[in-house]
Structure 1
Amino acid sequence: MHEMSVALSVVDQVEQAARSRAGHRVHRVRLDIGELAGVVPDALAFCFELACSGTVLQGAELVTGFVPGRASCAPCGRAWDTGMPPDMICASCRGGATELLSGRELRITAVHWAAEPTAPTPAPTPAPTPETLHEES
């Protein structure tokens, strides 16, 4: 499942950006996914949640945007939505000299940071020992 490698890559890139924001957790990540990128958004969301565990992204929301596949014809200049599977033949001139304009994107477009830095987790209080217990009469 390549969605896990995509999720791990997104987490890695956001963690690198987080280093300059010491202590700030990530609230939300927006990712644009092209129609032709071969990524299943639901599978990516599942993998993203797993990949975030134990990082500054733990609990972060993944918001995905859809980017349609678009192509243009070099000879006649017509542009169209390719659909899936992609139709790369121009309907106007039936030419095959086309260029893919969009649809393969896989891009982090925004990271929303938590308003406040995460406070360091306090050290646990040690359990009382017989030497530290004092009986009151």
Structure 2
Amino acid sequence: MMKAIKTLLVTAVFSLICSNAIAIGMQGTSDVKKSLALTIEHLEKAVAAFDKGEDPKIVVERLMEAKQVQKSFSTANGKLSMIKSRATQKLGQARSSFNEGDTAGGGAAMKEALAGFKEFKEKYDAMH
């Protein structure tokens, strides 16, 4: 009797762990596309603010918004993951540059990040 209860308990716990892992790991294509579009939108706003000569703090706020949104999507495709990784690195580099007072470097890195996320979107859309 105890062995049966133990087996049922282990099975229930394992099922719960697996179902949570699947729910967390499974992102629908539409969710990825929405998050990606929002990331690009925030970056475009940051670039526009930079190009208008707005306060770098405003640009950094937009970059942080983009950085937060981009965390919500991922892909199992190796090539796409590399593109996203490079774009995310450029995003972090842009923020660091702005925070250190290097607006020219920050602007260049931010534009590279935007180009990277746009490339990711183009390739992701072609696959889905």
**Structure with greater contact order relative to length (CA < 8 Å, sep ≥ 6):** 1
Question: The TM-score by the shorter chain falls in which range?
Answer: under 0.3
Structure with the larger strand share: 1
Scaled by the length of structure 1, the TM-score of the pair is 0.26
Rg larger in 1 or in 2?
1
